[in-house]
A and B are shown apart, each in its own frame.
Chain A
Amino acid sequence: MSKKVTYAGENSTSFQTKVLVKSIFIYIALILLTLVCLLPIWILVVNATRTHAQIIDGVSLIPSANFFKNLNTLKTNDLYTQFFHPIRGMFNSLIIAGSCCALTVFFSGLTAYGLVVYDFKAKGPMFSFILAVMMVPSQVTAVGFMKMLVSLDLLDSYIPLILPSIAAPAIVFFMRQYMLSSFPLDIIEAARIDGSNEFRTFLTISIPMMKPAFAVQAIFAFIQKWNDYYNQSLVLVSGKTNQLTVPMMVQKVLAIDRNPDFGANYAAITLSIIPVVIIYLILSKFIIGGVAAGGVKE
């Protein structure tokens, strides 16, 4: 994108003013949006540095100095230590979200590739099926899901949290649409002629070309799975402390109803979002860098 292109009429003053005005306008809009995006998060983080009494006293935008005191409450107060072990929780969440993310992206890509590249009889029905199941309301299927887990003895296991992410209809659909709009099929033909087998073509040619789509979906998948309290608490029934994930821990912290320490609660929330922010920032390089897709540059 850093390529220097000479635009028609670029040197005329009116053009330059126009661009300048537009840029300023865009800048103002973006700054406003940034404020709207960050303000609530900022308040959350600031509250993590304030004491219970301060928080009850009202909102503030200026951090106070009590973050470590709140951390200490999390570490020492029985009410919190009974289920809040951030390191353990992050490790557990990382295993779940990480594997889910990898499986989702890889298999969705594979499925989409299969649906776009090959011609086979069941292709149409398969795609219609994927479209149809995208529309299933997720609330009620939980009953059948749980019933099955009981019969397979899979409760309190990470398997039912991780394995189903192989089948992500919406992401398959995204990948398919993406491939349709920007994946040159001739490159596959070329690879075939070069003697590459189908699976290798997928791995070595199509995945690198699909990087932006993969990166985007990887971020989405990771964050969604990291925050997926609903399914985690459904499957990890007994709530064994060494199995708890970050959102489950946070939820339990927030559920303390008799003597909650708001400061410690906010500190727990803040701790829980830090890893996601870090991973997001790492992966977001792909988005920010604007990895050029399209693959074939003639």
Chain B
Amino acid sequence: MNKLKKSLALVAMLAIASTAFVGCGDDTDAGNKPAETTAAPAETTAAPADDDADTEETTPAEDAAPAIKFEDSDPTLTVLCWTGDDINKMIENFGDDNVKYVNVGSKGQEAREQYSTYFAGGEDVDLFILEADWILDYINNDEYCAPLSDLGFTEADFDGCYDYTVSIGTNEAGVLKAASWQATPGAYVYRTDLAETILGAKTRDEMQALCKDWATFEKTAETAAAKGVAMADTLGGMWQVYQYNKDNAWVVDNKLVVDDYCKDYAELAKRWSDKGYVTNVAQWAEDGSWYQIGQDGKTMGYFFCTWCLGAGSMLSNASGGVDEEGNPVNPDVYGKWNICTGPSSYAWGGSWLAVSPKCNTGTLAHDFVEYFTVNEESMEEYALFKSEFVNNPTVMKKIVDDGKNKNPLLGGEDQFAVLYEAAGLIDMDGKITKYDSVIKGDFNDAVNKYVNGDIADVDSMINEFKKSVAADVEGIEVE
């Protein structure tokens, strides 16, 4: 299914984003009217970026009492998003009928282009949701994204949040432009029954001891593989953990950085795949195989993060799901899971709220952002409401201590207890670049070819990877 959408979804929308730029390019030869209209937005994007940034930096100081710069001319708060999953629950929890959302209806990756299409169309938008992979595109674009100070927030308001979410939400000029309502630490979620029969691990701690680092994890995988069970669900899942711990950003000083870490991962992937320590299924595969390996006991567990663990989520699918009456379809698997930190802590994805310069529902927008990212009380409420890992260590600590969260998929265990520790370790400062989604794609492509045996050795693989990046990304140096 996932590729279905990729398919034509991509085929389409982007072109409009592009037109803005093309308009700019053809000013000279294209004559009057068409050029004027199209070129205008492109120019604002490009040229005045620096000036704007400067003025904005001084804004918080000027406004001792934070003021909302937007008017309240439109009663309806319009939130732009690409999945109804979060926003539905948020609106339900927020409880104001004036909040509406527009769903561009595409996967996260494509949404980045669809947003710009939507912006170009000039429709109403007040707030919009951004994803970790492409947040930099938007927060560095003053045409589409206004500073949070315009909504009346100061940086101090977000002191309670996880630091990494604040630093990602801050643009190149140091202006805070987006706030996240969630932290997205990941962990290793495993089948308790298999862990006990195959590995003899009865508790979460015993299991964690068996996968505490990559070497131990591999040794454990050997035992499991002997019984025909893979320790890791997919290469995609391993990569989420591995890439997070990469020391360098992909691009430093406009140069592609390929360090030993990349080679290590490629070799690990190949070895594990050959030995059956990881299944040969792909994450998000159309045939549902990613979920089936869990139900069928082909994998010991999954690398899952906060948003994979709720009702109807990936873990639910891997457990066989529930029928209309809410009864497990596959009771042998449902609820027979537990969670441990895994070989290394990591974070996966994440979503941010940002405000459009065209926002015309200032007060409500402010309240909405405050409700989910600043106000600890409401954040706690939302955390329990959606089983969401909210972006506030104090709140999460309290929930863990109170022991209120019981996840039926995990047999009543609280995933937050484990994730809380992982969340504290997340540090993505300076590690994400705006080229990441393309570069990561190219890298995994090359690794997959190596794993499949299409590429003979690691060095050729790295070379292939560099070539793809050179061909795909304009403006960075590749050697």
Contact = CB atoms under 8 A, between A and B. Distances in A.
Interface of A: 51-53, 55-58, 69, 78-79, 82-83, 142-148, 150-151, 155-156, 229-230, 232-234, 237-240, 247, 251-260, 262, 265
Contacts of A55: 288
Interface in B232-283: none
B2 A257 contact: yes
B335 interface: no
Given A83-B103, A239-B118, A234 B15 contact: yes
A53 B320 contact: yes
Interface of B: 1-2, 4-5, 8-9, 11-13, 15-16, 18-19, 22-23, 33-34, 37-38, 82-86, 88, 101-108, 110, 117-118, 120-121, 123, 284, 288, 291-292, 295, 307, 312-313, 317, 320-321, 323-324, 329-330
Contacts of A251: 5, 8-9, 105-106
Contacts of A259: 85, 312-313
A79 B84 contact: yes
A288 to B, nearest CB: 31
A230 B11 contact: yes
Contacts of B320: 53, 56
B16 A234 contact: yes
B22 A255 contact: no
Nearest to A248: B105
B219 to A, nearest CB: 32
Nearest to B320: A53
Contacts of B88: 78-79
A78 B89 CA distance: 10
B443 to A, nearest CB: 22
Most B-side CB within 10 Å, residue of A53, A255, A259: A255
Given A78-B88, A147-B23, A234-B13, A258 B118 contact: no
B105 A258 contact: no
A285 B312 CA distance: 46
Contacts of A234: 12-13, 15-16
Contact of A53 (B86, B103, B110, B321): B321
Nearest to A261: B312
B137 to A, nearest CB: 18
Contact of A147 (B12, B22, B123, B324): B22
B315 to A, nearest CB: 12
A136 to B, nearest CB: 16
A255 B85 CA distance: 12
19 contacts: A55-B288, A56-B317, A82-B103, A147-B19, A147-B34, A150-B37, A151-B34, A151-B37, A151-B38, A233-B8, A234-B15, A237-B117, A237-B120, A254-B5, A254-B9, A255-B105, A255-B106, A256-B105, A257-B5
B85 A147 contact: no
Given A69-B324, A230-B12, A150 B38 contact: yes
A238 B16 CA distance: 11
A179 to B, nearest CB: 35
B408 to A, nearest CB: 16
A262 B121 contact: no
Contacts of B12: 229-230, 232-234
Nearest to A240: B123
